[in-house]
């Protein structure tokens, strides 16, 4: 196919697609599975196109056993302003309980990505230009999705807000006496009993030269996820020659607000402009 024929075909496709995708769409609590927590909020921009419209998937934190997508609703308007041409997906996933230990949460995220891929043409978005942003436990899940799985969507960029990266290291060198109990509740085992479970649940073990560019945010005074987890990830990414940025905010804890959060959003915008 010649360059001019290709351009004409794309123009014809745009003409056909424009009326259908010309208006923004907001769909709340869209089911991607049968459980009441397998839900996502979908925000689609006006003037979107299945060939060029990028997406960002948001994953809330809460130690895998609490939190919800409603925690990130206040961020949606900011993302819409900064990324006006992006589709935004804000996910819930099943929380850790007696019936839903890990890797239930990992499987939910994978299922949600499969759902997004299956509906990309219907929504008028590209399934080849997808970023994931997670907070704490959500960042852990987002990194697992990005580093372990290449289909049906290969994640193109990762934004990690203080996510756990090596669960074995967390268990063996806890910076809080509750950390080992949290790990056992999550996995129903220990790294001594089943080291493979901890390895399969740790994003750092899956970093490779094919991993997507990653933006890491960390508070130097985080009492929940130690700075060492982000430094470990940075080292793995550097060793694999994966583009990455580590931003450490002095004296910040497990989350921040105000001008520091604004700075984070500024950096996210610049990072996605560069890598998406």
- pLDDT, tens only, 40-68: 999 999 999 999 999 999 999 999 999 99
* 125/137 Cα distance (integer angstroms): 27
Backbone angles phi, psi at 41, to 5 degrees: -95, 135
Quote the pLDDT of residue 256: 96
What pLDDT shows up at residue 188? 95
What torsion, rounded to 10 degrees, do the Cα atoms 40, 123, 212, 272 define?
-90
- What are φ and ψ of residue 59, in 5° steps? -130, 120
Average pLDDT for residues 252-257, to the nearest whole number? Answer: 96
What's the pLDDT at 176? 86
Average pLDDT score over residue span 150-162 = 97
Contact (Cβ atoms closer than 8 angstroms) between residue 90 and residue 58: yes
pLDDT bracket for residue 18 (50, 70, 90): low
Angle, helices 137-148 vs 104-123, to 10°: value is: 70
User: Residues 19-40: pLDDT tens digits?
Assistant: 689 999 999 999 999 999 999 9
> Please, are residues 13 and 51 in contact by the beta-carbon 8 Å criterion?
yes
**pLDDT tens track for 199-230:** 999 999 999 999 999 999 999 999 999 999 99
- Helix spans in the chain (H): 3-20, 73-82, 104-123, 137-148, 167-172, 179-187, 195-200, 227-239, 258-275
């Amino acid at each position: 196919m010649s360059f001019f024929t290709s351009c004409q075909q794309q123009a014809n496709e745009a003409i056909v697609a424009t009326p259908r995708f010309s208006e923004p769409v907001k769909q709340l609590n869209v089911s991607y599975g049968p459980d009441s927590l397998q839900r996502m909020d979908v925000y689609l921009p006006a003037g979107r196109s299945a060939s060029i419209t990028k997406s960002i998937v948001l994953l809330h934190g809460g130690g895998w056993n609490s939190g919800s997508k409603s925690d990130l609703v206040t961020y949606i308007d900011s993302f819409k302003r900064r990324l006006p041409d992006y589709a935004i997906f804000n996910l819930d996933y099943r929380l850790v309980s007696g019936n839903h230990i890990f890797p239930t949460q990992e499987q939910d995220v994978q299922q949600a990505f499969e759902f997004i891929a299956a509906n990309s043409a219907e929504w008028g978005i590209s399934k080849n230009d997808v970023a994931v942003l997670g907070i704490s436990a959500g960042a852990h899940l987002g990194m697992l999705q990005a580093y372990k799985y290449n289909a049906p969507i290969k994640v193109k960029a990762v934004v990690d807000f203080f996510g756990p990266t090596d669960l074995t290291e967390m268990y063996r060198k806890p910076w809080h006496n509750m950390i080992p109990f949290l790990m056992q509740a999550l996995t129903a085992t220990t790294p001594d009993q089943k080291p493979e479970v901890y390895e399969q649940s740790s994003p750092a073990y899956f970093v490779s030269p094919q991993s997507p560019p990653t933006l890491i945010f960390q508070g130097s005074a985080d009492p929940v996820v130690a700075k060492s987890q982000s430094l470990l990830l940075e080292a793995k990414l550097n060793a694999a020659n994966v583009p990455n940025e580590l931003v450490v905010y002095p004296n910040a804890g497990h989350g921040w607000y105000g001008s520091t959060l604004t700075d984070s959003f500024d950096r996210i915008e610049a990072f996605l402009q560069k890598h998406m």
